Amino acid sequence: MRIDVLTLFPEAMTAMLRIGVLGRALDEGLFTVSLTNPRDFAHDRRRTVDDAPYGGGAGMVMRCEPLVDAVESLRDVNSLEHVILLSPRGRVLNQEVARELSGLRDMVLICARYEGVDERVTRQVVTDEISVGDYVLSGGETAALALIEAVSRMVPGVVGKWESVDTDSFFHGTLGPPQYTRPPVFRGDAVPQVLLDGNHAAIERWRRKAALRVTRARRPDLLQELSEEELELLAELGAESPTPKKENEP
């Protein structure tokens, strides 16, 4: 997979792309991330990429020419079939979206700044818009890094053991179970005995049940499409089976 990122601050992303699992995956060529600065496509000596909005108002807007030219400059290395604007009005990034994007051959991520981008950028080159949540960031770089992290974990080989991905929160639609490590007792608080007994079937069942318990307590909205086993485990927890959504119900 190839990911091209359009950012006014490539140096802000470089350090994060070189550490941990992400850095190792890039070094091993499991996928690539290339950074392009739209300022390199500005049409004046000051490399201006923003201007005052038509109609007035506070703040500045990113101009269409540098952004569109920067996207189109990638045509020889990127299919440009998936040009994504990190935007608060986009569909929300979740595990399902990350899994979907991980199957792409390439994508372009546009990091907006200021009050956003000229709408003509969206109409002419953007194919998708993605948001990382209902809050405001100063720029799309943080959002792009979150997307790259989430997507890269779905690429085979990026995470050393697939079991680590398989037990991630949201991978199976629920939150992950509680995790423990040494010592077995800390200030009188003991690790559940089942995790110490070595019975792998019992451990797996405990983890699924614990995941359902924490999801029911903290994110009950996720308990919509459950298997028969999960429904049985919820019944053991004393929970009622989730009521299926009615047609057209949000």
Residues forming the active site: 88, 115, 153, 168
Cα separation, 50 vs 43, in Å, equals 12
The residue with tokens 């739209």 is 38
Q: How distant is the alpha carbon of residue 7 from its chain centre? A: 18
161 Cβ neighbours under 8 A, 6+ residues apart: none
152 Ramachandran zone, left/alpha/beta (phi>0; psi -120 to 50)? alpha
Q: Do residues 243 and 200 make contact, with C-beta atoms less than 8 angstroms apart?
A: no
- Which one, of 67, 80, 47, lies nearest residue 116 by Cα? 67
